């Protein structure tokens, strides 16, 4: 389950070392502790939830991280905390993604991308579905992943190989009532991932899918239910859900395997969850 993005007035890189008004477009934040051989990883949807946790995890390993999302204020705070580079980005905007790719190429290239930007809207039946909501989910979860992947694949090849890691959901592997919009887009994102792996087999680029089950983040369910905090909290009542750091750890582990090892798919659920709608709410 990934974090839905929110709006921001402009796109571009921001460094915590300088003010937004004076930060040069080609000045990523660096840390003296970073090895020159550290991998450079792009994480989308990085302003909160799984994305922010992934930025923290990868930075803790000494990797160079470009944290991208729409909310520039949150990105700047995360960059100040972690030493990551902040890049304001709307993955549904072709020009914004092109600008990101140009920036990455001009500032050292890329070794891996974590396509995490995404989210769910509503829990309506097919009969009562909001067409605009479905369209937005498709733009964000599927076409956003497509745009970024298409943009960075040449950079990974120029680096001599790398990783495309897509964060989907257990919704990509099964249906549930009221979930057709979200399960549909996550199934599409899963097929994008699997097909890409088949199409570029033989190249030194790994294609990885991480599919989380129920993850209690500050925004996923709250956004899904239009800000209804009680309804959002009820999703996680009576059991211990995953937290964002659990998924971030799985992401780091798959990216850190030896180059010849590809983790095609990792499904990560709470112990209490056996299926999308099968949860043992026993208080543990």
Q: What is the 3-state secondary structure (H, E, C) of 243-282?
A: CHHHHHHHHHHHHCCCCCCCCCEEEECCCCEEECCEECCC
CA distances (Å), origin 167, targets 50, 79, 81, 131: 9, 22, 24, 24
Please give the pLDDT value at position 223: 75
Higher pLDDT, 219 or 133: 133
Over the stretch 111-138, which tens digit does the pLDDT of each residue have? 999 999 999 888 999 999 999 999 999 9
Lowest mean pLDDT, pick from 71-75, 83-87, 234-238 = 234-238
**Residue 83, pLDDT above cutoff 60:** yes
Closest C-alpha to 83, from 103, 106, 62, 68: 62
Please give the pLDDT value at position 234: 85
Q: What is the mean pLDDT of the chain?
A: 88
CA distances (Å), origin 206, targets 111, 113, 142, 145, 241: 11, 11, 19, 16, 29
Q: Domain ranges for the chain, please list them.
A: 12-19+36-274
Over the stretch 6-33, which tens digit does the pLDDT of each residue have? 333 334 554 443 333 333 333 333 333 3
Over the stretch 176-198, which tens digit does the pLDDT of each residue have? 999 999 999 999 999 999 999 99
Confidence of residue 139 (pLDDT cuts 50, 70, 90): very high
Do the beta carbons of residue 109 and residue 155 sit within 8 Å?
Answer: yes
**Residue 103, pLDDT above cutoff 90:** yes
The most confident of the ranges 144-148, 221-225, 233-237 is 144-148
Helix 94-106 vs helix 144-158: crossing angle, to nearest 10: 20
Does domain 12-19+36-274 fall into CATH 3.40.50.720? Answer: yes
Please give the pLDDT value at position 233: 85
Confidence of residue 37 (pLDDT cuts 50, 70, 90): low
What token pair was written down for 77?
């705070």
The DSSP line for 125-178 is: -STT--HHHHHHHIIIIIIHHHHHHHHHHHHHHHTT-EEEEEE--GGGG---TT
Please give the pLDDT value at position 220: 73
What integer is the mean pLDDT of 149-159? Answer: 98
Closest C-alpha to 64, from 86, 87, 46, 41: 41
How does 145-166 read in b/e, with b if 16+ C-beta sit within 10 Å? bbbbbebbbebbeebeebbbbb
Closest C-alpha to 152, from 94, 79, 102: 102
| Count of positions (residues) in the chain | 284
Please give the pLDDT value at position 150: 98
Q: Which residues are catalytic?
A: 182
Q: Model's pTM, two decimal places?
A: 0.85
Confidence of residue 73 (pLDDT cuts 50, 70, 90): very high
Residue 258 and residue 249: Cα distance in Å, rounded? 16
């Amino acid at each position: 389950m990934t974090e839905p993005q929110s709006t921001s007035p402009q796109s571009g890189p921001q460094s915590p070392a300088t003010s937004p008004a004076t930060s040069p477009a080609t000045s990523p934040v660096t840390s003296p502790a970073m090895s020159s051989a550290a991998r450079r990883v792009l994480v989308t949807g990085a302003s909160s939830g799984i994305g922010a946790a992934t930025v923290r995890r990868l930075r803790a390993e000494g990797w160079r991280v470009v944290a991208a999302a729409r909310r520039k204020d949150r990105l700047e705070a995360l960059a100040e905390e972690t030493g990551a580079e902040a890049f304001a980005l709307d993955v549904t905007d072709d020009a914004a993604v092109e600008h990101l790719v140009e920036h990455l190429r001009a500032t050292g290239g890329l070794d891996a991308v974590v396509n995490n930007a995404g989210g769910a809207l509503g829990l309506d039946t097919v009969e009562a579905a909001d067409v605009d909501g479905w369209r937005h989910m498709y733009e964000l979860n599927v076409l956003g992943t497509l745009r970024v992947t298409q943009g960075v694949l040449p950079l990974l090849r120029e680096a001599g190989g790398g990783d495309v890691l897509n964060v989907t959901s257990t919704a990509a592997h099964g249906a549930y009532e009221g979930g057709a919009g979200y399960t549909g887009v996550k199934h599409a994102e899963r097929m994008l991932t699997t097909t890409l792996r088949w199409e570029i087999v033989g190249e030194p680029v790994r294609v990885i899918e991480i599919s989380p089950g129920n993850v209690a983040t500050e925004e996923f369910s709250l956004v899904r239910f239009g800000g209804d905090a009680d309804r959002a909290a009820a999703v996680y009542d009576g059991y211990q859900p995953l937290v964002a750091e659990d998924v971030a750890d799985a992401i780091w582990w798959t990216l850190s395997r030896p180059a010849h090892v590809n983790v095609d798919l990792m499904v990560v659920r709470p112990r209490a969850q056996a299926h999308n709608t099968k949860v043992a709410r026993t208080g543990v």
